[in-house]
């Protein structure tokens, strides 16, 4: 047992809601070895994060740990963390067992500097002075490879990028040299290049400090990059466990097969992505035998690909963008004259044909979202032209632009903040129809709303429910339905699947493709995930520092990237095994 760092025995966690008890973790057992990096994968709601919070004794009401043991092995006797007093648990938390939370923006206090927050964690467990804690914080910032560590001491969270904030969280977690580190989805919302850097950093720190790491994610590709062993969780249970190579090459459970298959493949173009239900039990009780054999049935033939190219080539451009610039003043003289501009979008030109999906890919901060909003004049461009259906949108008056927006829709990244929490989703669908006076009367609008719910695989009874009663994937479907209510010709999807599990992401991408075929709209699909963009797009634009550095056929760019930046993006995609 000397090689064991922690042992979880028959852990059961329940949540009580409206007199109903839900078992989130169903009597699971597993061990974490000393110096081992183990991955835990599964969809939202599978019990991954609740298991992690149980190890840290952070499960809050209405949740409670019903039964089980969490044994933490020190150099002497194992300690059952569930039997410790709150004060004793606090001595372990941060000192022996530390955690990196999923969302660094909400995990860091926006009112305190990053340096203060990390040094506070150190002083809480170590009897050292403020100056010593500050010096140690600088050393930690250097260790996690933050630029200009001394300056980072005095910066606030909002002044850092997503990747830098996550590095601050890692510095805080390792500040007291814990023996066990829990990383809960630490790379989910990050660009592929930043994600790769964070994964390499965690692996390096784990080896340097001989830490045990429990790495939680919904992406099996990420686990393959970093872990030696993997556990697959489904509905509160561990359904499969073993070495990463074994689970990847010879998955046994149908759910594991589904998770492996629903990520867009890197070597072929599919008609649609596989989803979890393709692999769950069939009506005769059997399961799909092989991930590869099933994926091969969905491959788009060369003839289908060529027919699609010829169909789009015959269409006239729906949108023509020439020399588009969106600049923001960052420095002014005492008289108000702009001395320095931030060129978020700089001399961008492209066109979009009817029925085409144009992928826009690049890291956070490259100008993708600004470009999308500039096209709709939600942000006023500084220069250039946006010709839509032969009309320059920049020349339209405010009322004319409002009328035009009926034909141009935007699907935002975050399905949680895209819907008003105070109104039912049915009213959210009806509202834009009422504003633009569509479908004749109230009865016609109600009928259209019900049709749209059905189109996005929701039920009529969902009409009167509020946003908080839906999962993230369902909310994103509602936002898509709301965009389609206007019967638009042009939709901009701004990172609209970035916040979703890979399995839910596959469902939403399939939905967008089927709706595009049915409604015939054109789409600009913005994402930092090049594998997703390649799957859904006909052509691709690669954006860096406000400029388009490469454009062309999506497959051609993926297989034969010309620009160094595109090559870096492709190299950073988790390849699996």
pLDDT digits (tens, 9 = 90+) for 352-410: 999 999 999 988 778 898 999 999 999 999 999 999 999 999 999 999 998 898 899 99
Note whether 142 and 98 are same-domain residues.
yes
Same domain? For 221 and 285 the reply is no
- Residue 262's nearest CA partner among 43, 548, 50, 7 is 43
Q: Is residue 577 part of a domain?
A: no
List, for residues 107-149, the tens digit of each pLDDT value: 789 999 999 999 998 988 888 899 999 999 999 998 888 888 9
Query: Is the model's pLDDT at 507 over the cut of 60?
Result: yes
Q: Is the pLDDT at 285 greater than 80, yes or no?
A: no
The H-assigned helical ranges of 111-263 are 114-125, 130-143, 149-152, 162-174, 192-209, 220-226, 244-249, 254-261
Q: What is the pLDDT of residues 190-230, one digit of tens each?
A: 778 878 888 888 888 888 888 999 999 887 888 888 899 99
Instruction: Return the pLDDT at 229.
Output: 94
d(CA 146, CA 149): 6
Does residue 69 lie within any of the structural domains? no
Residues 431 and 546 in one domain: yes
Do 260 and 362 belong to one domain? no
Q: What confidence tier does 502 reach under pLDDT thresholds 50, 70, 90?
A: confident
Is 403 exposed, middle or buried (CB count within 10 Å of its CB: 0-12, 13-18, 19+)? Answer: exposed
Q: What is the pLDDT of residue 415?
A: 73
Boundary-marking domain end, from 212, 243, 274: 243
Q: In total, how many domains does the chain have?
A: 3
Residue 558 falls inside a structural domain: yes
Average pLDDT over residues 76-82: 85
Which tens digit of pLDDT belongs to each residue from 147-172? 889 999 999 988 887 778 888 988 88
Residue that terminates a domain, selected from 201, 222, 243: 243
Q: Over the range 247-263, which residues count as b (16 or more CB within 10 Å of their CB) and which as e?
A: bbeebebbbbbbbbbbb
Flag whether 469 is in a domain.
yes
Give residue 2's pLDDT: 47
Same-domain status, 359 and 472: yes
d(CA 235, CA 280): 14
What phi-psi label fits residue 430: left (phi over 0), alpha (psi between -120 and 50 degrees) or beta? alpha
* pLDDT, position 288: 62
Q: Clarify whether residues 140 and 257 are in a common domain.
A: no
Residue 125's contacts (CB-CB under 8 Å, 6 or more residues apart) are 91, 94, 95, 176
Indicate the average pLDDT of the chain: 88
Instruction: Kindly state whether residue 444 falls inside one of the protein's structural domains.
Output: yes
Percent of the chain beyond pLDDT 70?
97
pLDDT in tens, 533-548: 999 999 999 999 999 9
Amino acid 1: pLDDT? 41
Whether the Cβ atoms of residue 428 and residue 478 lie closer than 8 Å to each other: yes
Asked, for residue 103, whether it belongs to a domain, the answer is yes
Does the pLDDT of residue 459 top 80, yes or no? yes
Secondary structure letter of residue 302 according to DSSP: H
Mean pLDDT of the region 235-251: 92
CA quadruple 80, 122, 49, 7: dihedral sign:
negative
Give the residue-averaged pLDDT of 470-475. 80
Distance CA 302, CA 282 (A): 30
Are residues 115 and 255 both part of a single domain?
A: no
Rounded Cα distance between 109 and 379, Å, is 30
Residue 516's domain spans which residues?
306-315+355-376+395-571
Q: Are 41 and 259 in contact (CB under 8 A)?
A: yes
Range with the poorest average pLDDT among 146-150, 268-272, 520-524, 573-577: 573-577
Strand order in the sheet with 338-353: 338-353, 317-332, 383-388, 391-392
Given 243, 271, 286, which residue is the final one in a domain? 243
Tell whether 277 and 159 lie within a shared domain: no
Is 404 within the bounds of a domain? yes
Q: Identify whether 327 is part of a domain.
A: no
Residue 552, pLDDT > 70, answer yes
Question: Do residue 226 and residue 135 come from a single domain?
Answer: yes
User: How far is residue 165's CA from residue 424's CA, in Å, rounded to a whole number?
Assistant: 35
Alpha-carbon distance of 503 to 41, in angstroms, equals 12
Task: Return the bridge partners of 181, or none.
Answer: 98, 213
Same domain, 561 and 420: yes
Same domain, 209 and 272: no
| Residues 158 and 255 occupy one common structural domain | no
Any idea what the CATH number is for the domain that residue 486 is in? 3.40.50.300
**pLDDT tier, 104 (very low <50, low <70, confident <90, very high otherwise):** low
Compute the CA torsion angle 400, 402, 405, 409 (nearest 10 deg): 160
């Amino acid at each position: 047992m000397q090689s064991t760092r922690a042992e979880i025995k028959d852990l059961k966690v329940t949540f009580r809601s409206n007199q109903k008890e839900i078992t989130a973790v169903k009597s699971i057992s597993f061990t974490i070895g000393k110096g081992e990096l183990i991955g835990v994968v599964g969809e939202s709601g599978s019990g991954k994060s609740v298991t992690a919070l149980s190890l840290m004794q952070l499960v809050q009401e209405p949740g409670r740990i019903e039964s089980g043991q969490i044994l933490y092995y020190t150099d002497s006797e194992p300690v059952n963390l569930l039997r410790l007093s709150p004060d004793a648990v606090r001595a372990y938390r941060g000192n022996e067992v530390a955690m990196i939370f999923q969302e660094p923006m909400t995990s860091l206090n926006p009112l305190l500097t990053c340096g203060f927050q990390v040094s506070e964690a150190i002083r809480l467990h170590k009897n050292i002075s403020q100056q010593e804690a500050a010096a140690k914080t600088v050393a930690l910032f250097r260790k996690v490879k933050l630029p200009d560590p001394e300056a980072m001491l005095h910066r606030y969270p909002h002044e850092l990028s997503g990747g830098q904030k996550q590095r601050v969280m890692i510095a805080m977690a390792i500040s007291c040299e814990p023996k066990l580190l829990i990383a809960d989805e630490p790379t989910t919302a990050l660009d592929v290049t930043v994600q790769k850097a964070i994964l390499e950093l965690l692996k390096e720190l784990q080896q340097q400090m001989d830490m045990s790491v429990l790495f939680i994610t919904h992406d099996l590709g990420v686990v393959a990059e970093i872990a030696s062993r993997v556990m697959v969780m489904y509905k509160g249970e561990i359904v499969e466990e073993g070495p990463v190579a074994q689970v990847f090459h010879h998955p046994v459970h149908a759910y594991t097969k589904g998770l492996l298959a629903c990520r867009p493949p890197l070597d072929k173009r599919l008609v649609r992505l596989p989803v979890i239900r393709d692999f769950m039990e069939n009506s005769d009780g059997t399961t799909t035998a092989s991930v590869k054999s099933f994926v091969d049935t969905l491959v788009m033939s060369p003839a289908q690909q060529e027919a699609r190219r010829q169909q789009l080539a015959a269409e006239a451009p729906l949108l023509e963008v020439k020399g588009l610039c969106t600049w923001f003043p960052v420095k002014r003289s005492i008289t108000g004259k702009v001395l320095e501009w931030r060129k978020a979008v700089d001399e961008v030109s492209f066109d979009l044909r009817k029925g085409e999906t144009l992928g826009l890919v690049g890291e956070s901060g490259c100008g993708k979202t600004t470009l999308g909003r500039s096209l709709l004049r939600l942000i006023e461009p500084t220069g250039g032209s946006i010709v839509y259906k032969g009309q320059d949108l920049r020349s339209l008056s405010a009322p004319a632009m409002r009328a035009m927006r009926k034909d141009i829709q935007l699907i935002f990244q975050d399905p949680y903040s895209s819907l008003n929490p105070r109104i039912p989703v049915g009213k959210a669908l009806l509202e834009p129809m009422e504003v633009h006076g569509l479908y004749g009367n109230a009865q016609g609008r109600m009928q259209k709303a019900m049709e749209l719910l059905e189109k996005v695989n929701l039920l009529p009874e969902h009409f009167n429910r509020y946003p908080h009663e839906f999962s993230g994937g369902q909310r994103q479907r509602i936002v898509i339905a709301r965009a389609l209510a206007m019967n638009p010709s042009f939709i901009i999807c701004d990172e609209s699947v970035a916040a979703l599990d890979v399995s839910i992401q596959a469902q939403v991408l399939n939905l967008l493709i089927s709706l595009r075929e049915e409604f015939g709209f054109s789409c600009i699909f913005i994402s930092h995930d090049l594998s997703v963009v390649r799957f859904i797009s006909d052509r691709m634009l690669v954006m860096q520092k406000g400029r388009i550095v490469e454009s062309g056929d999506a497959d051609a760019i993926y297989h034969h990237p010309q620009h160094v930046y595109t090559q870096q993006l492709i190299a950073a995609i988790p390849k699996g095994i």
